[in-house]
Amino acid sequence: MVLHPDLFEIISELAWGVKMNYECLQSQLECAIDIRNNVPEWFLQPIIIRDDPKNNPRLLVRRKNPLIFGHPFIPIINSDLIYDRNVILLVNHINAAFWRRNNQYKSTVWKLVRRPVTQTWNQFIERMDGLAPTDIHTEGCLMRSLILTMIDQLHQSNLICRWKLALI
């Protein structure tokens, strides 16, 4: 059974408050599945806080990230594709010896982290290849635990397709 495009847009607007066609929804669902399977949740923001421009631009809205396993799917927006602050914490605590050993600059990784996950994830995990717990310098027990968990999950992650989504 195939729905008429106008009817499909009405249903998507009722479900999520956004008109979208079938191709856009299919592309976003495939992207969400790919990212959920290959990018560890520690690298994505679990809760997005943003303005609600429709109703009240000064009102902040909490939104669960649809790219994280366990969160319901809703249409993907730009803020869903941003790296989490944990990634900044990880990059800040990597020893200079790691960067020298891999013949790369820390600033290159900073440029990757500032761009959407769908565009830079593959390059990010290639740059972090070979990162070991001995390459980290931290004093706090909790911070060290978080960073070591991220390193472990980074080794278990995979490449994703380079998605070009029609974002809402």
> Where in the sequence is the domain holding 13, given as residue range(s)?
5-156
C-alpha dihedral sign at 27, 33, 36, 38:
negative
Is 162 a member of any domain?
no
Residue 53 predicted with pLDDT over 90: no
Is 70 a member of any domain?
yes
CA 118 to chain centroid: 7
Q: Average pLDDT, stretch 54-77?
A: 81
Cα separation values, 95 from 132, 134, 149, Å: 10, 9, 17
Q: Average pLDDT, stretch 81-85?
A: 91
Q: Report how many domains make up the chain.
A: 1
* 113 three-class SS: helix
Is 138 a member of any domain?
yes
Residue 165 predicted with pLDDT over 80: no
Q: Average pLDDT, stretch 15-43?
A: 92
Q: Average pLDDT, stretch 132-157?
A: 87
151 vs 90: CA distance, rounded Å: 8
pLDDT confidence tier of residue 162, bands split at 50, 70 and 90:
confident
Is 149 a member of any domain?
yes
pLDDT tens by residue, 99-114: 999 999 999 999 999 9
Is 163 a member of any domain?
no
Residue 128 predicted with pLDDT over 60: yes
CA 97 to chain centroid: 27
Is 167 a member of any domain?
no
What pLDDT score does 56 carry?
66
Q: Average pLDDT, stretch 110-126?
A: 93
What pLDDT score does 168 carry?
60
What pLDDT score does 2 carry?
76
**The model's pTM:** 0.84
Is 166 a member of any domain?
no
Is 54 a member of any domain?
yes
